[in-house]
Structure 1
Amino acid sequence: MDDDDAQQRAELVRIWGGARRRLGSSSADGAVGPRLRELAAWAESSPYGDEALDLYGDGVVAALERRVAELLGFPEAVYFPTGTMAQQVALRCWAGRTGSDVVALHPLAHPEVHEEGALGAVSGLRTVHPTTAPRLPTAQEVRDLPEPFGTLMLELPLRDAGFVLPSWEELVETVDAARERDAVVHFDGARLWECGPHFGGRDPREIAGLADSVYVSFYKSLGGMAGAALAGPEDVTAEARTWRHRYGGLVFQQYPAALSALRGLEEELPRLPSYVAHARVVAQALREALEESPAPWFRIHPEVPHTHQFQVWLPYEPEALTAASVRLVEETGTLLFRRWFPGPAGGPPGVATTEVTVAAPGLEWTPEDVREAVRGFLAGL
């Protein structure tokens, strides 16, 4: 990100943070003082207020690791400062155990799109793609992959394809297909926390139980400051701690981030099913509003959201749509959409997409509130 992009992003974050009404929330919104006071107040009233400060991963960080391991049903979990590092370490640990440096994953998965080729450049791993369709691979596609691979990595949900998930039966079959090929299965579960409603109400432990290891994020859905965890068997987590140190991830103190993660697990995790349910209400209201609008074309994807996040597509330049989003906040105090981006490479020109997240603030929105916000947004184009 160059200086101009960074300056624009900072200005947008300032504007979003000033909105009085919003569908979702972001841990990047707000100012330092209020955020720290909120976290300190929660810590004082929580069981963790008297927990020891961490030094190189003990104290409250170790308490967070134990909580994640319990929630996901694994013997141990290891805290990492970033998800990118956690997945790097997980995949190289499995490569050593399987004897294969080949990872099968989707071309839209996070390591392929958002990590600057780190799997190959840093860890010496090679990737293959069972499918290029905008969804998770099927069992048959895993069986038909023409070369051996040691690890199948599945991103749940597949964010850049629209936060999409397979059915529970399809996921089980895909995992079984990888095992038929003597491969291990790793879940990129950055957003695994909100997958339960789509999978018939299954909890994180049952979902994670399909995999050999799971990475989860603390800020994407739980509202934490930063950080991630890798959960898996004891031998893998023990090696992961060694690689975490080698990668520079054994930080002297991280208790504010760890506390914010524990707060997210206590407060946000139980609420996620209600966010998913209301995201479906919001998506339907958006559809109705856009059908009545002068917009020549639009897409809500998925039509029924699989999680509390989904995509909206409109046939305008992203800069014009972002400007309309800003104008709506400045004129009405309502934050409907955030930043818009060009559609995928190879797609039609002049089409832009944005991501919608429905969280606690959005539960107050009625369908008419959504329709009114859409009308105001389009009027600013």
Structure 2
Amino acid sequence: MTDAELLKQCHTVLPGHRPRSPAEMFAAMAAWCEANDVAHDVYGDGELIQQFEQKVADILGFESAVFCITGTMTQVTALRLACEDRGSTLAALHPTSHILVHERSNYQLLGHFHALMAGDRHRPFTSADLAAIPDKLGAVALEIPMREIGGQAPSWDELEAIKQHCRERGAHLHMDGARLWEAATAYGRTPKEIAAGFDSVYVSLYKGIGGLGGAMLAGSRKFTARAAEWFRREGGNVIHRSPYVIAAAMQFDERLAAMPSYFRRTEWLYEVLRDFPSIRVNPAQPQANMLHLHLPVSCERALEIRNDVARDHKTWLFGRAFHGALPDTSVIELYVGDNLLDMADADVRQALALLASAL
């Protein structure tokens, strides 16, 4: 039985939001289009998409934002343009950057820029880590929060120090804000306050938002116009962006408004996890509504446990698992969304007890 088939049989699911079937999603989109008299854009020219682009730009405090079909295309294009502007092909990235870990060396094979790794892979990099790089940097990319290390983010003072360092150094500071909305409550700041001092910001339209896909790149009007031209050259000029924009726009405000509730539920979850000492949590305190759980079993065994619990108890504990640094250890990821928010406290405790018992 495949993972998808196991998951479909479960009545209790811990991570994420409840997924909508295609029929449910398309019906909701159709109803929203009917209620709002929505028309298709044509190659990005249309009232809905342009209003939504400007809405995202305003929330982030930028002049402009432009839609792109994927975050993968968005970020390497933004960093290449930034490096061109600053006269250096060198971009500083954290060792766990999505660009390095998940994008099949696209930045390198396509000649976008040269990457330098900054900082330790288990912690967010600091201004001191950047200062230790002697080369002229064209750009610095900072993910907020950092998914591959459990949703960690720099402290507010350190974030301000990084902004100042890049400003004084003359390096373009770009934010991988795929989960920026999730970090705002932990910082106690608005997305605009977090983004202030960055030269460009990428945000996802499907991760925490729950859309079908797509991304936005925010920056100066000149910068986003150049990026839009390169998106066309790179094959991103789909004739209708409207399905992706509608799927995000119709629930955008609701999702942003729910982020504080997700974070409070994450804080509660941390307290519950104290009762299960075999499960180690990273980071030590929540910095977004996501976290990693470190388990004293191999990755293969962790997945067996997940599948056994799903089959026997109709409870889906987690999706993603990967090898820990030590032998016979593993790491799993939890994103706290609608599922955990709406689940009864006793059911959450029972699910964690099933995991701990199997460990």
1:24 alignment partner in structure 2: 15
Q: CA deviation digits over 1:348-370, x for unaligned, max 9? A: 11111110011122123354432
Q: Find the partner of 1:33 among 18, 23, 26.
A: 23
Equivalent residues in 2 for 1:105-184 (5 A)?
Answer: 105-184=93-172
The alpha-carbon deviation at position 159 of structure 1 amounts to 1.1
**What amino acid is the match of 1:179?**
R
Aligned with residue 239 of structure 1, among 218, 226, 241: 226
Larger displacement relative to structure 2 (366-375 or 353-362) = 366-375
Instruction: Spell out, residue by residue over 1:137-176, the C-alpha distance to the aligned partner (whole angstroms, 9 max, x if none).
Output: 2122222212111111101111111110111111001111
In 1, Cα distance between equivalents of 2:184 and 2:303:
32
Relative to 1, partners in 2 of residues 1:380 and 1:43: Cα closer, same or farther, differing over 3 Å?
farther
Per the alignment, residue 3 of structure 2 pairs with 12
8 Å contact from structure 2 (residues 340, 348) kept in 1: no
Is 1:335 the counterpart of 2:316? The answer is: yes
Which residue of the partner structure matches residue 200 of structure 2? 213
The size of the alignment, in residue pairs, is 358
Task: Determine the C-alpha separation between the residues in 2 that align with 1:314 and 1:380.
Answer: 11
Q: Provide the TM-score with structure 1 as the length reference.
A: 0.89
Deviation at 1:380, TM superposition (A): 5.0
Q: Give the one of 190, 203, 224 matched to 2:211.
A: 224
Structure 2 letter corresponding to 1:187:
M
Residue 267 of structure 1 and its aligned partner are, at CA, apart by 1.4
The match for 1:317 among 292, 298, 308 is 298
Change (3 A) 1:221 1:78: same
The 8 Å contact of residues 23 and 362 in structure 1, kept in 2 or not, is answered as yes
Matching residue of 2:329: 351
SS at the partner of 1:119? helix
The offset of 1:238, in angstroms, is 1.0
Q: How does 1:188-199 map to 2 (within 5 A)?
A: 188-199=176-187
Structure 2: which 5+ runs fail to align? Answer: none
How far apart, CA to CA, are the structure 2 residues paired with 1:302 and 1:331? 31
SS in 1 for 2:274: helix
Retained in 2: the 8 A contact 1:340–1:352? yes
Partner of 1:294: none
Q: Which residue matches 1:71?
A: 59
Preserved contact between residue 282 and residue 367 of structure 1 (Cα < 8 Å): no
**Does the CA-based 8 Å contact 1:23-1:363 persist in structure 2?**
no
8 Å contact from structure 2 (residues 273, 279) kept in 1:
no
Q: Which residue of 1 aligns with 2:246?
A: 259
Alignment deviations for residues 188-246 of structure 1 (CA, whole Å, 9 cap, x no partner): 111111111221x2111111122010000011111111000100001101101110001
Task: Output the aligned Cα RMSD.
Answer: 1.9
Q: What is the rounded CA distance, in whole Å, between the counterparts of 1:25 and 1:17 in structure 2?
A: 14
Aligned counterpart, 2:349 = 371
Moved more, 238-247 or 49-58: 49-58
Shift of 1:250: 0.8
The one-letter code sitting in structure 2 at the alignment partner of 1:62 is: Q
SS in 1 for 2:292: strand
Q: State the alpha-carbon separation in 2 of the partners of residues 150 and 177 from structure 1.
A: 13
Quick check: 187-196 or 366-375, which moved more? 366-375
Matched-pair contact (CA < 8 Å) for 1:17–1:30:
no
Q: What SS does structure 2 have at the residue aligned with 1:74?
A: coil
1:283 CA displacement: 2.4
SS in 1 for 2:285: coil
Letter matched to residue 218 of structure 2: A
Aligned to 1:5: none
Shift of 1:269: 1.0
Deviations 1:101-158 (A, max 9, x none): 1001111111111111111211331111221242222122222212111111101111
Q: Among residues 288, 307, 325, which one is paired with 1:326 in the alignment?
A: 307
SS of match in other structure, 1:128? strand
Residue 308 of structure 1: how far off its partner (Å): 0.5
Structure 2 residue matching 1:369: 3-state secondary structure:
helix
Checking the alignment, whether the CA contact within 8 Å between 1:218 and 1:264 is kept in structure 2 is: no
SS in 1 for 2:30: helix
Alpha carbons 1:153, 1:186 under 8 Å: kept:
yes
Contact 1:167/1:198 (<8 A) preserved: no
CA shift for structure 1 position 18: 3.8
- In structure 1, the partner of 2:69 is 81
Letter in 2 for 1:262: A
Q: Secondary structure at the match of 2:137?
A: coil
